[in-house]
Structure 1
Amino acid sequence: MPLQKFHYRNLLLGEHDVPLTCIEQIVTVNDHKRKQKVLGPNQKLKFNPTELIIYCKDFRIVRFRFDESGPESAKKVCLAIAHYSQPTDLQLLFAFEYVGKKYHNSASNINGIPSGGGRGTGGGSVQNTPLFETYSDWDREMKRTGSSGWRVCSINEGYMISTCLPEYFVVPSSLADQDLKIFSHSFVGRRMPLWCWSHSNGSALVRMALIKDVLQQRKIDQRICNAITKSHPQRSDVYKSDLDKTLPNIQEIQAAFVKLKQLCVNEPFEETEEKWLSSLENTRWLEYVRAFLKHSAELVYILESRHLSVILQEEEGRDLSCIVASLVQVMLDPHFRTITGFQSLIQKEWVMAGYQFLDRCNHLKRSEKESPLFLLFLDATWQLLEQYPAAFEFSETYLAVLYDSTRISLFGTFLFNSPHQRVKQSTEFAISKNIQLGGEKGLKFPSVWDWSLQFTAKDRTLFHNPLYIGKSTPCIQNGSVKSFKRTKKSYSSTLRGMPAAFKNGVLGDQDLVPRRNSLILKAKPEPPQHPDGRKSGMERYLTEWFSKPADLHGVILPHLSGPRVKLWKLCYFRWLPEAQIKLGGFITAFHKLSLLADEVDVLSRTLRQPRAGPLEACDSGLDKSRMYFRASGPHDASGTPEFLSSSFPFSPVGNLCRRSISGTPLSKFLSGAKIWLSTETLVNED
């Protein structure tokens, strides 16, 4: 079978294309003089480079040779890339140029790629992913979770209250709009309490910023606490988690990531092999991943077993709370373990909640604000996927591609610090370019959830997990429609919850918020064991939970022991040739499981189409397969393709001159200067 058939390709980027926003560092080298220089914007280059090395944010190292280029041309190329890879203005990013052409051109394609945008673009999953830009999206989510005592609030329409909150969000029903307007001035960034999710037992997950008005803190705390308590059917108390005191801060996470990248990319592989495990431990990256999983699991216990509502609080309420709120919901709600559900979770808890993608991804090279919080969340999600593979509809390839998409400055999803910034910047850009918006609120940027912009339908099947145990499907048997049904599960596990008023549990009364006449107190680390040797409520809950088979349609909790929290090799090692295992890694099992899952799908379609012959049913369903590797027929015993490796599908194969999207403004500079003969002379083939 041809090599290219088993290698996915990005429709936006060629194999050796590097988005300018993906560039971490540029190094120029002169082999003859044995000189090298880290090149920044507006810097001079005193020697003629023979090689250009680009260190990418996705752990790639791309080398370009100038053997067939003149010295001045090579210097111009290096200086141009260094200049355009560090823009200082948001509107200089590629997405604005792309969208501007889309509005000006009547043609449906730009550079051969269909123009996409918000809801309704064809071919991808964006049609089924709620963007939470409208009142109705929030209302549907409340109904899906069975939330009562909560309402959709629209006081921020036009971003009149806060520029870092969505126009619509959910608040306790007992809080009037007028009260919210008054309270908003006391919060950092005016970030009032935001509802995230409700458990079937009535407990809710809420996030909010710190109250900066010390004089009003007691009053506002009590009002918010009482309102959340009233929204609970049992009027249960509220537990508050101070994330700033419990978890590592964004600077510590960034420092750990820098060390991890140096270990995986910069240092010679041979030199780090002997001390690999100790070096990995010294980065503290896995320690931080474990810390977020552990804290999220503790909050699952509080929501699930103690039936208490939880408030996540941090200074601005838009960094650590994004990770924790998302992980808690992934552990509790199986809907968020589907592709559509996971995408809606990111829209709700990251994009619309005001996570600062522009600053944290460092699109404008403001290093002091950079921190890989979104990657840490994806890594923690991968840990759960690795431990409970049958509980997730998506694969680790999907998670890796999702991370890569944050480095492509095309999608409005990962480009801005808030929805308000998107509207403001795109409106200003439209005015400067004489673009008529009509009734639209700003330009419509392509959504990352329209995966058809990046991948073919065949390649998108790599996102599907062959082990996933999904919903049952109807089957025609003896002329009647039947379904293979499982026992209906709620969000709760099959275990009985501990009483909410349990005094010897992981939390004491000092960690609860009484309904009257008290302050909300900070969460305290719980003692590992009581003085008399009895297990805490949290320990008993975990012991009982892990003693039984996991309910893949209910709660899942992470294993946190040393060996169970692993390095995400596909994400961090995929570009490292020394770390690739030919015919090894999970891909070999993935290949066999895909063939088996595809065969099961074919048989299921055959059962649902009794009038069609087995071969006809098989042929008619080939294009409907959800698997990348497909069975050629019943009991297919195909061997593992010999070109598969542990880094699949990111193994470097393909044509250097493949047609791809043209970036700006660098492409204009290069095409005008005509400073090289062909793209094939740029890459070192040695």
Structure 2
Amino acid sequence: MATGGSGAGSGSGGAGNDHYKRNTFTSYVAPLPGDMRATADTNEWCLPSDLRDVHLARPRLLPGEQIVASAPAYMYSPIEPMDSSINISHNNSNGNGMASVNDGGSHKEATFGLLSVTNFKLAFVPLHATSKRNPEAGVVTAPLCDLYQENTYLGRNEITLNNIDQIYTIAELGRAASALQAARMASHVSRRKKLEPFKQHNISGRIAALHIVCKNFRLLKFAFQQQDSKLSGASDHGKLIASALVRFAYPMRHDLSFAYAYREPYYSTLGPATGTSMYASKNDWARELIRCGATEWQVVSSASVPLLQNPLHAGKYTVPPHFVIPKSCTVDRFLDLSRAFCDSRAAFWVYSYGASAASLVRLAELQPAAQQDTKLENVMLELVRKCDERRQLKLLQLTDRLPSIQDVRRSYQKLRRLCTPETPEKFMLQDDKYLGLIEKTNWLFYVSLCLRYSSEAAATLRSGITCVLQESNGRDLCCAISSLTQLLLDPHFRTIDGFQSLVQKEWVALEHPFQRRLGHVYTAQGSGSGGSGSSGGNNGSELLEGEQSPVFLLFLDCVWQLLQQFPDEFEFTQTYLTSLWDACFMPIFDTFQFDTQAQRSKAVLDSQLVLRPVWDWGEQFSDKDKMFFSNPLYQRQKGDLAGAQSSAAGAGAAHRRSLAVGHNRGGTAGGASGSTPSRNTINPQLFATVSSVPQDRFLQPAHRICDLSVWDQCYYRWLPVLDIRGGGQPQVDLFHRLLLSNIAKVQRCLELQSYEELPDAYFEVTGESRSSLQKEETPVEDEAEYVDGVERRRKPTTKAGTPTNGFSPVSGNHLQLSSLSSFFPFGSPIAGDAPHQLYDILNSSSELLQDTTSILDKSSIL
């Protein structure tokens, strides 16, 4: 703290701390952010010597990544108060770089560090007491959090530029005012200004603080130290960062994305035996036709159609590389009919169900010029009707029943404002009328509508009637309803591999415009109103602001609602869904970065873009993180083994448990060989015509608003005020994993006829002591036993008789379990020995999670 002088920053919280008296002594306290009364003698911010090397705390850079701008800054919690009564002081005794904030007796912290903008991300590297310093490189890095989800490419305080949606600047209030005071005035329009994407050169005045609103509901708040403009070398740090952000966070061309600069080779771990189908070849679609028993449909590849290869005619069509059309129609006639529909999206087959192979078909609406004459639409529907065995068809018009993409965008923006309050006062005002505000967003209403009409479509298919989903362009909410319908009917799509295949088929292969809907690219016409979104024309890579709409998030929310209603029917967890939404803004992976396959191919050809599918989760996360993608309640049914990728000989690799869940220790499900799919084109007529999709595993969800919930892990995880230690769904999930861990130990004891590894819960219930059991059972250490011809060795025990597996007594488990965040693994990290205890639970339970057979199929252990 400061020495000498009164009112020079003793940290008492008085109003006198808002300014500094005449500099008649040496101060060891940093001026308040925004304080303009620095002199030449205090040009180093008056920081202690161990904090002046802040620029050494530079972020870790990827190959091809470059720093655009850096500045010292304070990072604040999203809803911590930032007013004039806050005192900031640096503890000189330990140099921890944490600002102690006193506000009405409560203790809060503001972190001091280096804020950097690169061509890939916005990174804040704090200076902590526990920082690890590399003496050779002279770099200070933040400590790692063992139980916080760690991304290979991003640190905890880093976000990609793709994730930035809105940037607000907070102007300083005067020469003697602090950045904290300016931040407190953020709600005032005159002080809080939004930076527009196309006005980079209009940033005027000094910037005391920045508010950055992210697309994944995160709010970042930074305040900057200001220096007197008369001093040599002085700069406006806030303006420096803001200018860099508005320039690089809103690219006007897709090739300005970091993916084009990141040229590192990619070695896929998604081998041919994986259960995730990419639907990037004709064979992938043919296998799906075989699995569904759809014999009246044919796969068409654009590369094999002369009309689509003719430059004079190719520009008239925007069809995907592979699509499925009725056999009763020739390819040329189908393409001729498709010109009357938006985006050339005539009737595309996506799924068939039941003994009668009733089909699920996606269809766009007629072009505005052809809407007066519905003859062509009737012709197309008649072609679809001929593919139905019972000649029955139901047209489900989605445009009039579901919200438009503009409605979804407005609802999302209202929901995000509710989840990103700037101040505690605003949070409390929202909390008082929370339910009313949630209702006004209409988000749950739209989720309800999606579940309702997907249930209607599923019921139509179950009754043996073909269902045609029609939407304006057939590429937005049509994707959501079609995907949800298949989730309700087919248990294969409720596995991790199956769900990833479903997203690839419905959203990627059939070309949902991710680039425009997620706002990856901006254009000077950003004020345009946009529309439903035709991807045709010469400006397909550009984005009108009115076309931004997180339709994919609406779909993920619907899937999360299904997880809540049917917790044992899905192999994946809400953590998997949340991580998938975050991955939409990771430009390194191409899955969610393009509107069409043609754009992706052009980027590879012209710019040598390295394609990396997001489904290769090992590229982003460690095995520890991927363990939380698996649902401990999921039970594989016998029908799942038969309803895999192939239902006939030679149709490819049988379904196996996803490689995303740790290491695949076993073989393919059901003892299948897992051979590589044939390179030759598969003819569905050569195989069985009966669908292998089980018909007794469909779901009927409740879709009323009163039956729905708010996806708190995804929307509220960045609000520490809502974090509940030892509560929430993660706590329940961990207890389930602990139960699986105990089951695994008991089963191992029964197999080996050795009971020294019994879980602690056994001794708690029976009242026996582990030491007494050890006296009765005196196993020979490292003695080999053979079970079914496989050698197994007992684990060595300690002198106290406790297995050396890192599993602590029951009391320790309770302490560890109670320390979890309700937003785990996105909440605050766990301290102490808890990581080691949790790893033991994860490793034991993962043995059962990765098993291809159900726990309930094994011999009873009771």
**TM-score normalised by the chain length of structure 1:** 0.73
Give matches, 1:347-426, under 5 Å: 347-365=504-522, 366-426=544-604
The equivalent residue for 2:255 is 91
Question: Offset of 1:388 from its aligned partner?
Answer: 0.1
In 2, are the aligned partners of 1:126 and 1:449 still within 8 Å (CA)? Answer: no
| Partner Cα separation in structure 1 for residue 809 and residue 817 of structure 2 | 19
| Partner Cα separation in structure 2 for residue 401 and residue 465 of structure 1 | 14
Which of 382, 389, 414 is matched with 1:226 structurally?
Answer: 382
Superposed CA deviations along residues 224-279 of structure 1, whole A, max 9, x for unmatched, are 333333323x3331111111111111111111111111111136211111110011
**Structure 1 pair 217/199, CA: closer, same or farther in 2 (3 Å)?**
farther
Question: Offset of 1:637 from its aligned partner?
Answer: 8.5
Which of 624, 646, 649 is matched with 1:458 structurally?
Answer: 624
Q: Which 5+ residue runs of structure 2 have no aligned equivalent?
A: 1-142, 175-181, 183-190, 228-233, 523-543, 642-668, 672-690, 753-786, 798-804, 832-862
| Partner Cα separation in structure 1 for residue 494 and residue 796 of structure 2 | 29
AA matched with 2:731: T
Secondary structure of residue in 2 paired with 1:326:
helix
Question: Offset of 1:348 from its aligned partner?
Answer: 0.5
Question: Offset of 1:53 from its aligned partner?
Answer: 2.2
**Structure 1 pair 123/229, CA: closer, same or farther in 2 (3 Å)?**
closer
Question: Offset of 1:178 from its aligned partner?
Answer: 2.5
Task: Work out whether 1:132 is the aligned partner of 2:279.
Answer: yes
In 2, are the aligned partners of 1:11 and 1:454 still within 8 Å (CA)? Answer: yes
**Structure 1 pair 601/336, CA: closer, same or farther in 2 (3 Å)?**
farther
The equivalent residue for 2:146 is 5
Question: Offset of 1:52 from its aligned partner?
Answer: 2.4
Q: Taking CA–CA contacts closer than 8 Å with sequence separation of 6 or more, which of the two structures ends up with the larger relative contact order?
A: 1
Secondary structure of residue in 2 paired with 1:62:
strand
**Structure 1 pair 221/25, CA: closer, same or farther in 2 (3 Å)?**
closer
In 2, are the aligned partners of 1:209 and 1:317 still within 8 Å (CA)? Answer: yes
**Structure 1 pair 591/257, CA: closer, same or farther in 2 (3 Å)?**
same
| Partner Cα separation in structure 2 for residue 570 and residue 125 of structure 1 | 34
Task: Work out whether 1:647 is the aligned partner of 2:845.
Answer: no
**Structure 1 pair 216/67, CA: closer, same or farther in 2 (3 Å)?**
closer
The equivalent residue for 1:545 is none
Which of 448, 461, 466 is matched with 1:290 structurally?
Answer: 448
| Partner Cα separation in structure 2 for residue 458 and residue 167 of structure 1 | 37
Which of 397, 420, 434 is matched with 1:242 structurally?
Answer: 397
AA matched with 1:574: R
In 1, are the aligned partners of 2:458 and 2:489 still within 8 Å (CA)? Answer: yes
Question: Offset of 1:187 from its aligned partner?
Answer: 1.9
**Structure 1 pair 165/214, CA: closer, same or farther in 2 (3 Å)?**
closer
Once structures 1 and 2 are overlaid, which stretch shifts more, 173-182 or 316-325? Answer: 173-182
Task: Work out whether 1:173 is the aligned partner of 2:330.
Answer: no
| Partner Cα separation in structure 1 for residue 822 and residue 373 of structure 2 | 54
| Partner Cα separation in structure 2 for residue 151 and residue 88 of structure 1 | 39
**Structure 1 pair 617/196, CA: closer, same or farther in 2 (3 Å)?**
farther
AA matched with 2:730: I
Once structures 1 and 2 are overlaid, which stretch shifts more, 17-26 or 373-382? Answer: 17-26
The equivalent residue for 2:73 is none
Let me know the Cα RMSD of the aligned residues: 3.3
The equivalent residue for 2:612 is 446
Superposed CA deviations along residues 85-118 of structure 1, whole A, max 9, x for unmatched, are 11101100111111xx23xxxxx5xxxxxx35xx
Task: Work out whether 1:46 is the aligned partner of 2:204.
Answer: yes
In 1, are the aligned partners of 2:254 and 2:521 still within 8 Å (CA)? Answer: yes
In 1, are the aligned partners of 2:726 and 2:821 still within 8 Å (CA)? Answer: yes
What is the total number of aligned residue pairs between the two structures? 543
**Structure 1 pair 138/588, CA: closer, same or farther in 2 (3 Å)?**
same
In 2, are the aligned partners of 1:393 and 1:464 still within 8 Å (CA)? Answer: yes
| Partner Cα separation in structure 1 for residue 334 and residue 715 of structure 2 | 44
More helix per residue: 1
Once structures 1 and 2 are overlaid, which stretch shifts more, 203-212 or 68-77? Answer: 68-77
**Structure 1 pair 633/355, CA: closer, same or farther in 2 (3 Å)?**
same
Secondary structure of residue in 1 paired with 2:458:
helix
| Partner Cα separation in structure 2 for residue 143 and residue 633 of structure 1 | 51
In 2, are the aligned partners of 1:28 and 1:36 still within 8 Å (CA)? Answer: yes
Q: Which 5+ residue runs of structure 1 have no aligned equivalent?
A: 103-107, 109-114, 431-442, 475-481, 495-553, 620-629, 656-686
AA matched with 1:294: R
| Partner Cα separation in structure 2 for residue 285 and residue 189 of structure 1 | 28
Question: Offset of 1:133 from its aligned partner?
Answer: 1.0
AA matched with 2:165: E
Give matches, 1:330-341, under 5 Å: 330-341=487-498
Question: Offset of 1:208 from its aligned partner?
Answer: 1.4
Task: Work out whether 1:154 is the aligned partner of 2:301.
Answer: yes
The equivalent residue for 2:813 is 638
**Structure 1 pair 643/637, CA: closer, same or farther in 2 (3 Å)?**
closer
**Structure 1 pair 8/68, CA: closer, same or farther in 2 (3 Å)?**
farther
Task: Work out whether 1:264 is the aligned partner of 2:405.
Answer: no
| Partner Cα separation in structure 2 for residue 168 and residue 586 of structure 1 | 41
In 2, are the aligned partners of 1:337 and 1:391 still within 8 Å (CA)? Answer: yes
AA matched with 1:88: M
| Partner Cα separation in structure 2 for residue 653 and residue 483 of structure 1 | 40
The equivalent residue for 1:434 is none
The equivalent residue for 1:345 is 502
AA matched with 1:7: Y
Identity of aligned residues (%): 32
| Partner Cα separation in structure 2 for residue 409 and residue 181 of structure 1 | 34
In 1, are the aligned partners of 2:292 and 2:693 still within 8 Å (CA)? Answer: no
Secondary structure of residue in 2 paired with 1:28:
strand
Secondary structure of residue in 1 paired with 2:247:
helix
| Partner Cα separation in structure 2 for residue 297 and residue 637 of structure 1 | 46
Question: Offset of 1:369 from its aligned partner?
Answer: 0.7
The equivalent residue for 1:544 is none
**Structure 1 pair 178/603, CA: closer, same or farther in 2 (3 Å)?**
farther
| Partner Cα separation in structure 1 for residue 475 and residue 248 of structure 2 | 30
| Partner Cα separation in structure 2 for residue 601 and residue 31 of structure 1 | 61
Task: Work out whether 1:22 is the aligned partner of 2:163.
Answer: yes
In 1, are the aligned partners of 2:726 and 2:820 still within 8 Å (CA)? Answer: yes
In 1, are the aligned partners of 2:172 and 2:206 still within 8 Å (CA)? Answer: no
The equivalent residue for 2:707 is 564
Give matches, 1:465-484, under 5 Å: 465-471=631-637
Give matches, 1:652-663, under 5 Å: 652-653=828-829
Which of 587, 591, 594 is matched with 2:737 structurally?
Answer: 594
| Partner Cα separation in structure 2 for residue 10 and residue 125 of structure 1 | 26
| Partner Cα separation in structure 1 for residue 272 and residue 224 of structure 2 | 42
In 1, are the aligned partners of 2:150 and 2:625 still within 8 Å (CA)? Answer: yes
The equivalent residue for 2:110 is none
| Partner Cα separation in structure 2 for residue 215 and residue 248 of structure 1 | 21
Which structure has the greater CA radius of gyration? 2
Give matches, 1:667-686, under 5 Å: none
| Partner Cα separation in structure 2 for residue 82 and residue 395 of structure 1 | 36
